[in-house]
C-alpha cells in the first residue's frame, strides 16, 4: 500500500510538472513560429514589391529575423554537434520529457495521454524548427530575386531603401 501511494504521488507530481512545462514550451514554440511567419511575410513582400511590408513595423520585422536567426542557428549547431543524430525538436523534447518520464507502463491509464502530449509537443517544435529553416531559405531566394532584378541594395537590408522610402512617402500622400 505504501508503494502504491508513493507511485500515485509520484505520478501526480509528474503530471503537474508536465503541465507546468507545457505552458512555456507552447509559448516558446508559438513565438518561434510567429517569428518565422513574420520573416516569411517580409520575404514574400520583398519578392513581390522589392520592399518590406508597409504594415509591419521595422522593429517587429527585425525581431522576427532575429528569432529566425537564433532558431536556425540552434538547429544547425545541434546537428553539427550531434553529427546529424538530433534535430532541435527531438533534442528539446528529450530534455523536456526526461524530467517528467516515469516508467512507461502500458496498463497505466495516463500513458496514452502522456504519449499524446509528447507527440503534440514534438509536433510544435518541428513546426517551429522547419518554419525557421524555410524562412532562412526564403531570405536567400528573396535576396537572389533582388540581385536578379538589378536592385540597388543598401547595406545588409536586401532592399533598395531609397526606392522603398519614396514608395512609402507616395502612399502617405
Residues recorded for the chain: 173
| pLDDT, tens digit, 9 for 90 and up, residues 134-170 | 999 999 999 888 889 888 877 667 787 888 888 888 8
Q: What is the pTM of this model?
A: 0.74
Angle between helices 88-98 and 111-149 (to 10 degrees): 150
| 102, 11 Cβ separation under 8 angstroms | yes
CA-CA-CA-CA torsion sign (13, 116, 82, 34): negative
Question: Is the confidence at residue 87, as pLDDT, over 60?
Answer: yes
Question: Is the confidence at residue 7, as pLDDT, over 60?
Answer: no
CA-to-CA distance for 76 and 143, rounded, in angstroms?
21
CA-to-CA distance for 73 and 81, rounded, in angstroms?
12
| 117, 18 Cβ separation under 8 angstroms | yes
At 6, the pLDDT band (50, 70, 90 cuts) reads very low
| pLDDT, tens digit, 9 for 90 and up, residues 122-140 | 888 889 989 999 999 999 9
Amino acid at each position: 500500500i505504501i508503494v502504491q501511494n508513493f507511485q500515485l504521488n509520484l505520478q501526480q507530481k509528474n503530471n503537474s510538472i508536465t503541465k507546468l512545462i507545457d505552458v512555456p514550451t507552447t509559448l516558446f514554440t508559438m513565438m518561434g513560429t510567429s517569428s518565422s511567419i513574420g520573416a516569411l511575410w517580409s520575404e514574400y513582400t520583398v519578392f513581390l514589391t522589392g520592399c518590406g511590408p508597409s504594415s509591419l513595423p521595422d522593429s517587429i520585422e527585425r525581431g522576427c529575423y532575429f528569432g529566425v536567426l537564433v532558431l536556425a542557428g540552434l538547429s544547425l549547431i545541434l546537428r553539427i554537434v550531434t553529427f546529424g543524430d538530433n534535430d532541435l525538436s527531438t533534442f528539446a523534447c528529450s530534455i523536456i520529457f526526461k524530467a517528467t518520464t516515469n516508467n512507461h507502463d502500458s496498463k497505466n491509464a495516463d500513458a496514452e495521454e502522456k504519449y499524446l502530449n509528447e507527440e503534440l509537443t514534438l509536433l510544435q517544435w518541428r513546426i517551429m524548427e522547419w518554419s525557421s529553416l524555410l524562412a532562412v531559405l526564403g531570405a536567400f531566394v528573396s535576396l537572389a530575386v533582388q540581385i536578379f532584378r538589378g536592385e540597388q541594395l543598401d547595406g545588409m537590408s536586401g532592399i533598395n531603401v531609397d526606392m522603398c522610402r519614396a514608395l512609402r512617402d507616395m502612399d502617405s500622400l
